[in-house]
Structures are given as C-alpha cells and as structure tokens.
Structure 1
Amino acid sequence: MTEQQVLPSIGAPNGSSPHSAKAIWGGRWATFLARRLSRLGVSIIVLVTVAFLSIRAIPGDPVRIALGIRASQAVVDERRAALGLDLPLWEQYIRFWQGLFTGNLGESFSLQMPVTTVLAQRLPATLELAVLALVVMLAFAIPVGLVTAALTRGGRRRGLELGYTTVSGFIAVIPEFLIGVGLIYVFAVQFHLLPVAGRSGPESYILPVLALSLGGIAGISRIVRAEALSVLDQDYIRTARAKRMSSWRIYMRHALPNLLTSSLTIGGLVLGGLIAGTVLVETIFSWPGLGMTIVASIMHKDFPLAQGVIIVYGLFVLLVTLVVDIVLVLLDPRSALGEN
C-alpha cells in the first residue's frame, strides 16, 4: 500500500478529497447566501410597506399643503386625481411597487421635480458625512482602545482606567445633536473658528463630522480595549514577550490584526447607524443632504419624497448589514457557517 493510499488528503476533513471539501463548502456558501438574500427580500418588503404607510398616517392633506389655503377645492380635487391620491389605499400601494420596479418614485409635491433627481442631488452629501465620520471613528478609536488596554493591562494604572471609562462612557451616551449644539457654541459662536452651517468648503465638514464621530469614538474604543485586554492575555502574546520582542512589534504585528475583525465588523454596523444619525446633525448644521430633506418632506407631507428618502436610508442599512455578514464569513468561515 502506497503512502498516498494511507494518508488522507491534506486540508480535506475525514480523509475526503479536496473536491468533496469544495462541494461541502460550496453547498454551505449557497445555503448561507440564500438565507441572507431571503431575509434581505423580506426586509425590503417590510421597509417599503412601512415607508408607504407611515407617512400617510400623519394628519393633513398634502395637496392642500402644497397648493396653499387659497386654492379652490376644485383645483385641489383635480390635483389629487392627477397624483392618484383619490384611489383606494391598496391601489396606491400597488402603483407604488410598480413605480419602484421601473425606477419611478414619483414627483415631489413641494419641489416639483422627480424624487430620483432629488435623491441623486442630496445623497452624496449624506454619504460624505457618514463615511468621513466612520473613518475618523476607526482612526481614533482603534489606537485609543489599544493604547489604553496596554497601559491598564493587569490592573495597572487604576486612575487612568477609571478616568478613561468614566469620560468615554459619558461621551458615548450623549446624543449627536447635543454634541453638535455644543460644538457650534464653542467653535462657531464663541471663538468664530469654524462656520456654523452649510457645505461651503473643507472647514465646513469639521463640526458635523465631529458631532457624528465623537460618541462612536468613545463607544468603539471601549470595545477595542476590552478585546485588546483579552488578546494581550493569550498564550501567543506571552510567548512573544518571552522571546523579548519589542512592545511595538507585539502590538502591531500580533495584537492589532486580531482586533481588526471585530473593529471592522462594528464599523460596518456603525456606518448603517451613521446614515440614520445624520438626520438631526444635518438639520442642526443646515447640511444639504437627505437628513434635511426628510424633515422638510414630512413637514409638508410630501409622500413621494419622504417615501424615497426612507427607502434609501433603509436599503443602505440592510445592504451594509449584508456586506458585514459576508465579510465575517470570509474572515472566519468555519464559525460563521457553523463548521466545527
């Protein structure tokens, strides 16, 4: 009997061939993707239904609001018929779905332009804020959490640990709009260092990005610190120290890569929340994004525009969550796909 007949194929469980292992993992991947995509489909149906019904639950006549109180009832009725608002609710719902499939979200009552055009104009400003805030969060939270863990490891520097946990916990629970108001008062009103509102240049990004990111920096750094304390207590870190490796090499080469998985996962989930969190921050800083748009559309009962913005917000969160799930599987397929 040859050696190849005795030894199982390397990398294939239970002596199975690499081709059968690929088939097993291929089947697991197919099951995983089918399950996630089916959940995404159900979530989209719920999202669209909620967007359609929620705005209609607000009291008031959108056509009357758009035309003004001086418009005659005949003009109002004619406009309602033209917009299809005189149809039964179920028929409006079906038409709404038909418009989604054809890429037609209707025309904004208040702005008198296609909703897709408004979204295309306002979405980049919101994405800029959210992505910049996420970059700032991770750029500060990961090193702060890692350094704090290194300094307070093993119960050392109790005063630093107490001060850090107290300050970071306090900042993490402050709402973004309160942070924004405080930043405006200090940097715009008192010292006149930065613009109060608008999107006029690089300096106009500083305050809204800080308002969105400060709470996240505090919260994510606490999670990174907890993960780092666990990683720094592992056997391979002790072995690295026993070999007299430099602290910089231990932290950068061994500890940091093990923190990036959880940090990037949290960052992806935070990005979805940041998009929703921009609503109040954009309103405070008069930022021309989707946040101000949805506030104005709800005030005017602008059905098409409000529905479009809600769907864009919801789809972004759902897609970010899906991407995070897929990245987790790529990083750790055995645990994510249920392989022991």
Structure 2
Amino acid sequence: MTTASAPLATTTPEAVGGHTRWARNPWVVFLIRRLARLLVSLAVLVTIAFLMIHLIPGDPVRAALGINAPADLVEARRESLGLNDPIVVQYVNYVQALFSGDMGVSMTSGVAVSETIGQRLPASASLAVCAFAVVMIVSIPLGLCMAVLTRGGRRRGAELGFTSTSAVVAAIPEFLLAVGLVFVFGVTLDWFPVAGREGASSYVLPVIALSIGPALLMARIVRVEALSVLGQDFVRTARAKRLPPWRVYFRHVFPNALTSTLTIGGLLLSAMIVGTVLVENVFAWPGMGMTIVQSILAKDYPLVQGIVLVYGVAVLLVNLVVDLMLAVVDPRSTIREA
C-alpha cells in the first residue's frame, strides 16, 4: 500500500524577488532601525525608572510615612507594594503592570499614579504645545527677515543688535525669566494672573517664559541657514526670473533651510517638555511639573517614578517624530545616515 506524498511547497522567483525588494527598501530599513532604537531606549528608560526606588538610600516607605510611623504599618505597606519580593520578581511585576497601564499607587494619597498623571498631563501638555507653537510662529519669520536684511554683509548694526540681544535673552534660565515676568506684568502692572490655570490669560506669562529664549535661539539658526541658501545658484536663478520676493523666500529659501530648523525644533520641544517643571512651580500651574516637585518633597517615589517615565516617553516620541519628518523632507541624506 502506497501513500501519496504531499506536494512540496515551491517558492516562485517573483515571490523571492518581491520579499528581497521589500527587505532592501531603504524606507523599511529606516523605519525598522528607528523603531528598534525606540524600543531599546524605552527598555533603558523603564529600567532606570524601576531602579530609582531601589537606588535611593534608606527605606522609601519609611521616608514616605515618616520616622514615627509604626513598624507594622511600614511592613504592611512594603508588603502591599511588593518591596519584600526579590528584585528580579519586582522588575518583572513592574513591567507587566506597565503593559496593563498600572503605574503603581501613591504612597501619600493612596491614589493610582496613572490617575494622578491623567489629571495633570493635559495642563502640562497644553502649556508645552502652546509654547512650541509660539516658538515656531515667531522664530521662522524673524529668522528669514533678518537673513534677508543682513545678507551680503548689509546692515551690520541690525545684525549685531539681533545676535547680541538673542544671545543674552536665550541665556536667561526659564525660572529667572518667569520670576521677572511675574514681578513686572503680574504684580507691578497687574495685567495677567500669576497663578493657576483659569482662562486664556493665564497662559500668557508661562508661555512667554518658556518660549522667548528658544524662539530667539531658533531665529538665529533659521537666519544662518537662510543666509547659506540665499547664496546658492538656484536662488540667483529664481531672482533672475523676476519671481516675487515672497515666493523666492518661502518657496525656495525656507524649504531648503527646513532640515536644521526641524532638528533644532525637536530638541527645543524636548527641552520645553522638561523645562515646564520649573515654570509650572513659579506660576502654580496644575501640571506634572508642580506635582513632581511636591512628590519629591513628600518622598512619594512611585509618583515620581511614574512622572519621570512619562517625561522620558514624551521626549523619545518627539525625537521619533522629528526623525520621520526629516526623512520626509530630506529622504536621501536622512535615510542614508540611518
């Protein structure tokens, strides 16, 4: 008795060639590498956030509950938080909890960390986004205008005044700038509220404190890049065709200076996300910046741990978005470097 053997699976040359072409596609390779870097960075970030509570000297539960807390209460809290388990078991449990959206429980309030972050995150995100929008709206036209006015060594006085002023203002820390704005426009002139998040007027001073320095720094970058582009042959050709100036600047000059602008813009947005911590505390802004300072003072390490993790993820996502935008704007150089 003979049995018929099953036909062997065959792979056509077209299928092999299609798979090979897909695997060698530079966009696919670029995306895979960027996502791999993101995953590695997230793994490192999660590990650092986990180790925070273990690297701090002393007992974090005792520090949170106070030195006069009963020993049985401290032990019960440690048991409920899983701090008596081996550190490997704690790490595995921590990662598993993160995948389910559980970031732990606050030691002081007993409220879930994810719930607290969910309440505070919109205020911080809205402040950072508004500040970044102001930076882009102010810096790009200002940088282009200064490049046009000072091209070819013209108007040395305007160039010196712009570079000197921007360098001085950009060097002022956001914290000191925020204090100065509160004193002048909040206390002395009483034009804007100095604390809280009530209405559009409450955004004015915090947004200015966060954005004025980065806007001037970005304008300097845009100016330098635009000056370099203005000296290129294709710009001279566009001028020779008697195109309107606005078309030359916004259709030919700015797109070619966009790569550096996006790179610096991504770095500035990442810095602004972290910079909101100090500014929020000056203006009593009900965001994560004020919450993390209060948590550090109260030694509420799970809440600090969760907020640090959210800040880190936000910075990593901003960098990923900037990399993708750069690849779209300048695919040849960006993908080749990847």
TM superposition score normalised by structure 2: 0.88
2:155 is aligned, of 150, 154, 157, to 157
- Equivalence for 2:169: 171
2:102 is aligned, of 101, 104, 108, to 104
Q: Give the number of equivalent residue pairs.
A: 320
Contact 1:125-1:289 within 8 A present in 2 as well: yes
Report the AA paired with residue 136 of structure 1.
V
CA distance, structure 2, for counterparts of residue 267 and residue 133 of structure 1? 12
Contact 2:23-2:29 within 8 A present in 1 as well: no
Report the AA paired with residue 250 of structure 2.
M
CA distance, structure 2, for counterparts of residue 249 and residue 331 of structure 1? 19
Contact 2:144-2:226 within 8 A present in 1 as well: yes
CA distance, structure 2, for counterparts of residue 333 and residue 258 of structure 1? 13
Contact 1:58-1:301 within 8 A present in 2 as well: no
CA distance, structure 2, for counterparts of residue 109 and residue 31 of structure 1? 45
2:187 is aligned, of 171, 189, 197, to 189
Where in structure 2 are there 5+ consecutive unaligned residues? 1-16
Contact 2:149-2:155 within 8 A present in 1 as well: yes
Shift of 1:43: 0.8
- Equivalence for 2:3: none
Report the AA paired with residue 122 of structure 2.
P
Deviations 1:21-61 (A, max 9, x none): x9379622222122111111111111111112234433454
Contact 1:56-1:303 within 8 A present in 2 as well: no
Report the AA paired with residue 115 of structure 1.
V
Contact 1:61-1:301 within 8 A present in 2 as well: no
Please say if 1:283 is aligned against 2:284. Answer: no
Shift of 1:65: 4.2
Report the AA paired with residue 78 of structure 1.
A
CA distance, structure 1, for counterparts of residue 53 and residue 272 of structure 2? 22
More off after superposition, 179-188 vs 70-79:
70-79
- Equivalence for 1:76: 74
Where in structure 1 are there 5+ consecutive unaligned residues? 1-18
- Equivalence for 1:42: 40
User: Identity over aligned residues, as a percent?
Assistant: 56
More off after superposition, 243-252 vs 228-237:
243-252
More off after superposition, 32-41 vs 66-75:
66-75
- Equivalence for 2:92: 94
Shift of 1:241: 2.0
CA distance, structure 2, for counterparts of residue 265 and residue 25 of structure 1? 28
Given the superposition, is the C-alpha separation of residues 55 and 174 from structure 1 closer, same or farther in structure 2, using an over 3 Å criterion? Answer: farther
Shift of 1:242: 2.1
Given the superposition, is the C-alpha separation of residues 100 and 165 from structure 1 closer, same or farther in structure 2, using an over 3 Å criterion? Answer: same
Shift of 1:75: 1.8
Contact 1:283-1:292 within 8 A present in 2 as well: yes
Shift of 1:78: 1.7
Shift of 1:122: 0.7
- Equivalence for 1:12: none
- Equivalence for 1:265: 263
Please say if 1:33 is aligned against 2:31. Answer: yes
CA distance, structure 1, for counterparts of residue 258 and residue 33 of structure 2? 26
Report the AA paired with residue 95 of structure 2.
W
Deviations 1:278-301 (A, max 9, x none): 111111111111111111222222
TM superposition score normalised by structure 1: 0.88
More off after superposition, 184-193 vs 49-58:
49-58
Instruction: Tell me the SS of whatever aligns to 1:338.
Output: helix
Shift of 1:143: 0.7
Please say if 1:138 is aligned against 2:141. Answer: no
Structure 1 stretches (4+) deviating beyond 6 angstroms?
A: none
Contact 2:143-2:219 within 8 A present in 1 as well: yes
Please say if 1:333 is aligned against 2:331. Answer: yes
